[in-house]
Structure 1
Amino acid sequence: MGILDTPAIGTHTWLEFVLAVAIVAVVAVAATFLLNFVVAAVARRRGWDLAKIGRILRPFLTLLTIIGLWIAMVVTLPEADWRVPLTHLAVILVIAVSAWLLAGIVSFAFEAVRLRYPIDVADNSKARRVRTQLDILHRVAGAVIITIAIGAILLTFPGVSALGASVLASAGVAGVVAGLAAQTTLSNVFAGVQLAFSDAIRVDDVVVVEDEWGRIEEMTLSYVVVRIWDDRRLVLPSTYFTTTPFANWTRHASAITGTVELDVDWSVPISALRARFDEVLSGQKLWDRRASGVQVTEATGGIVRVRLLMTAADSGSLWDLRCIMREAMVEWVREASPRAVPRTRVEMLEE
């Protein structure tokens, strides 16, 4: 006797069935209010997010209601002919809601771990690595739960086993065809898993891809979303980051070094320029005080090229610092040493 072949239990009337359903409904409503009250109290004490707890509470109450209705149907349903199809439907609903409940528990667990690794701190390289791996594992777990639930539902239908044998007989040819058709998709999936655990990129990493500067905003099993500095989104397949060279400015740390180059006349007083640079830079909060310097890197073609070196805690701070220092030094050259402004000299000769 299978799970769907539930025997009749005595002789019952429709009134008994309606009463049983009503009792289940009342118990479900009462349980909903009670659980909501208890969970809200616990959530306030522990600082949990009620919206995230709802992902567990709703499927749990739904599952209890379905099981209660199933029991009421088996015990009191007067029509035995309806029992098998309704029992089959109940089994399918139990499997589907159980998968929903399990997905909610997994989601809540992953979110709880994520909260232990905030990325809005100065040194967040470890947190970004952990969050990236958690995001990929969360998606893999969701895919596994859905796959198992679908398989379990299919197994409740008679004849699926026989159908499976015929499918397996042609699995060789079908596998080759499916493999060729899904080659790109599967390669992206494998690349996504590789990126998550190879630590090549992480969520919130600063990267330069396709000549665009941005941050890794989202990583999935098949694609990566890069948020460009002007709030555009660049969506790239995962295989891009495993096959194409790219710059990762926060691979090991977010601190970064940058330069500003000035072209000035040969008459520029280098010592005075260096003193002014140090004076302005020392008053900037964006400078992390790791390194600084003024160097003459070129002196050809009638100009002197001066490189101003500075460091900052991250790429965003460095960009702002470079702009501030460039503006300050241009203003100093124009006002304090106007003769140092680049110029073209023309010598007139008399024949």
Structure 2
Amino acid sequence: MLPFLLIYGSFNVIALDSYMLTVVESLIIINFSWMLIALLNAVEEIVQKKFTVDGFHQAKERRVLTQLRFMKSFSIIIIITIAIAVVLWNIPAARKLGTTILTSAGVIGIIAGVAAQKSIANLITGFQIAFTQPIKIDDEVVIQGEYGTVEDITLTYVVIKTWDWRRLVVPLNFFSDNSFVNWTFSSREIIGSVFISVDYTFPVAMLRTKLLVLLNENSLWDKKIAELLVTKSDDRAMELRATFSAKNASEVWNLRCQVREQLIAFIQENYPECLPKLRQLDQFKKSEND
């Protein structure tokens, strides 16, 4: 920027044509616009580092980051648009063309509005998402059966990083027209559950004690919620539900898999006779009648 300003200031001393003056003015405008965009990126980087705690963002911080990300994208569009308009306005030929275009602005506006209906709808939806915030940066969501983390929110789409590191690109209007699951809407903590079917002769109290032992030995458990209940029964077996909490959806998924495996191993090793049995009572009754 400084060399361009020095050159611009020396035009009163050095006699140069207007063409060179227009070029230097355009370079100053472009350079100044680049500085504004770089400043926005720097502010975003500083805010992200400030709000990062142990590698995660809390719900309140994620709201601010989401609004900041959207407003940054919108501001960059405005800066670039104004920069291009000012550069063209400094060019006499382009200025005449711009005046001609402005006289037909009404017709062009109607045509552009019809052609860009979806883009305008996405932009309006983006403002709604940025301030009502059904989703935020780092939210863990399930969209049409796909689990992932909100990685980026732009002016037209949302980028979801799935559990296997794929990127799911979803238009913004999807979130206003469809329902979806947000596991971290107000907080990252989440409860997981494991269902196991056992025979009626199984000692439930023993498994409840074993569950607490397993959770205390597992670093993924946040030591808040742990219980085991009989949630269902039928003519074959009873269903046990083990519930526990973790810091986030990824950890609760891993904890579910580990606890399920360990509980099944405990039953197989200590109470193999209590595994679900298929009692063919109807056949016995039929044979008795025969």
Q: Do Structure 1 and Structure 2 share a fold, with TM-score over 0.5?
A: yes
Partner of 1:235: 169
Deviations 1:43-95 (A, max 9, x none): xxxxxxxxxxxxxxxxxxxx222233344555234xxxx61211222222222
Residues 239 and 120 (structure 1), Cα distance of their counterparts in 2 relative to 1, 3 Å cut: farther
Deviations 1:148-196 (A, max 9, x none): 1111112212265654454333222221111010000111112122211
Provide the C-alpha distance between the structure 1 equivalents of 2:243 and 2:214, rounded to a whole number of angstroms: 13
Partner of 1:182: 116
Contact kept in structure 2, 1:74 and 1:83, CA below 8 Å: no
Partner of 2:3: 65
Out of 281, 286, 296, the position equivalent to 2:215 is 281
Q: Considering only CA atoms, is the larger Rg found in Structure 1 or Structure 2?
A: 1
Deviations 1:15-68 (A, max 9, x none): xxxxxxxxxxxxxxxxxxxxxxxxxxxxxxxxxxxxxxxxxxxxxxxx222233
- Give the counterpart letter for 2:192 in structure 1: G
Out of 57, 62, 79, the position equivalent to 1:145 is 79
Partner of 1:265: 199
Q: Does 1:324 align with 2:258?
A: yes
Q: Does 1:87 align with 2:21?
A: yes
**Aligned pairs for 1:183-262 within 5 A:** 183-262=117-196
Contact kept in structure 1, 2:51 and 2:57, CA below 8 Å: no
TM-score by length of 1: 0.75
- Give the counterpart letter for 2:222 in structure 1: D
Provide the C-alpha distance between the structure 2 equivalents of 1:65 and 1:162, rounded to a whole number of angstroms: 30
TM-score by length of 2: 0.90
Residues 221 and 119 (structure 1), Cα distance of their counterparts in 2 relative to 1, 3 Å cut: farther
Q: How many residue pairs align between the two structures? A: 285
Contact kept in structure 2, 1:73 and 1:83, CA below 8 Å: no
Secondary structure of the 2:66 match is helix
Provide the C-alpha distance between the structure 1 equivalents of 2:254 and 2:95, rounded to a whole number of angstroms: 66
Residues 246 and 174 (structure 1), Cα distance of their counterparts in 2 relative to 1, 3 Å cut: same
Provide the C-alpha distance between the structure 1 equivalents of 2:233 and 2:47, rounded to a whole number of angstroms: 57
Residues 298 and 177 (structure 1), Cα distance of their counterparts in 2 relative to 1, 3 Å cut: same
Q: Does 1:172 align with 2:106?
A: yes
- Give the counterpart letter for 2:45 in structure 1: E
Residues 76 and 165 (structure 1), Cα distance of their counterparts in 2 relative to 1, 3 Å cut: closer
Partner of 1:101: 35
Provide the C-alpha distance between the structure 1 equivalents of 2:35 and 2:208, rounded to a whole number of angstroms: 66
Out of 13, 16, 23, the position equivalent to 1:75 is 13
Displacement of 1:223 in angstroms is 0.5
Higher relative contact order (CA 8 A, sep 6+): 2
Displacement of 1:140 in angstroms is 1.5
Structure 2 regions of 5+ residues with no counterpart? none
Deviates more, 1:306-315 or 1:220-229: 306-315
Contact kept in structure 1, 2:88 and 2:95, CA below 8 Å: no
